[in-house]
């Protein structure tokens, strides 16, 4: 029986680079949102100082508590987002790297055997138009040679 285990890192250099871009964008997005929230809380603290509240006032303790909770939420969400994007990056890039690997292997085999044959990609792979176009070429060359 054929081994049915899927290999998701077909082209690790490409796939990890794409996944790295996903995570970098997530980190930038999280940093921007964190900066906005920090700025928002800083405005609250400035308003408390501006109206003359003492440093040990319940308002400042409330702000501090809310910032601590928000930091916890941001850390958890950053980790969760990184994990989700790591998985998504590998899965999405697999749908790109797989067909390119298959195309490369099929073209090398055709060159080695000196015979053209039809291409086929997996149903959910990207670039479904490539085998369609290539198969049109193969069909037209076969009809010309008949």
pLDDT tens per residue, range 52-99: 999 999 999 999 999 999 999 999 999 999 899 999 999 999 999 999
CA separation, residue 124 to residues 2, 24, 94, 118 (Å):
21, 26, 10, 18
**Domain ranges (residues) in the chain:** 12-114
What's the chain's length in residues?
146
- pLDDT, tens digit, for every residue of 92-124? 999 999 999 999 999 999 999 988 889 999 898
End-to-end CA distance of the chain: 39
Tokens of 85: 């994007």
Decide if pLDDT at 2 tops 70: no
- pLDDT, tens digit, for every residue of 65-76? 999 999 999 999
- Torsion sign over Cα 119, 122, 123, 129: negative
Question: 126 CB contacts (<8 Å, ≥6 apart)?
Answer: 95, 96, 99
């Amino acid at each position: 029986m054929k081994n049915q285990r899927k290999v998701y890192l077909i082209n690790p250099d490409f796939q990890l680079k794409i996944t790295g871009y996903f995570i970098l964008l997530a980190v930038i997005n999280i940093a921007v949102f964190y900066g906005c929230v920090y700025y928002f809380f800083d405005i609250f603290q400035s308003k408390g100082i501006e109206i003359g509240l003492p440093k040990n006032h319940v308002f400042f303790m409330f702000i501090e508590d809310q910032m601590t909770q928000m930091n916890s939420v941001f850390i958890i969400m950053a980790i969760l987002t990184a994990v989700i994007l790591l998985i998504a990056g590998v899965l999405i890039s697999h749908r790109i790297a797989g067909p390119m690997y298959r195309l490369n292997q099929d073209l090398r085999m055709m060159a080695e055997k000196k015979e053209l044959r039809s291409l086929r990609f997996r149903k959910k792979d990207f670039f479904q138009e490539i085998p369609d176009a290539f198969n049109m070429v193969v069909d037209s060359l076969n009809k010309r040679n008949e």
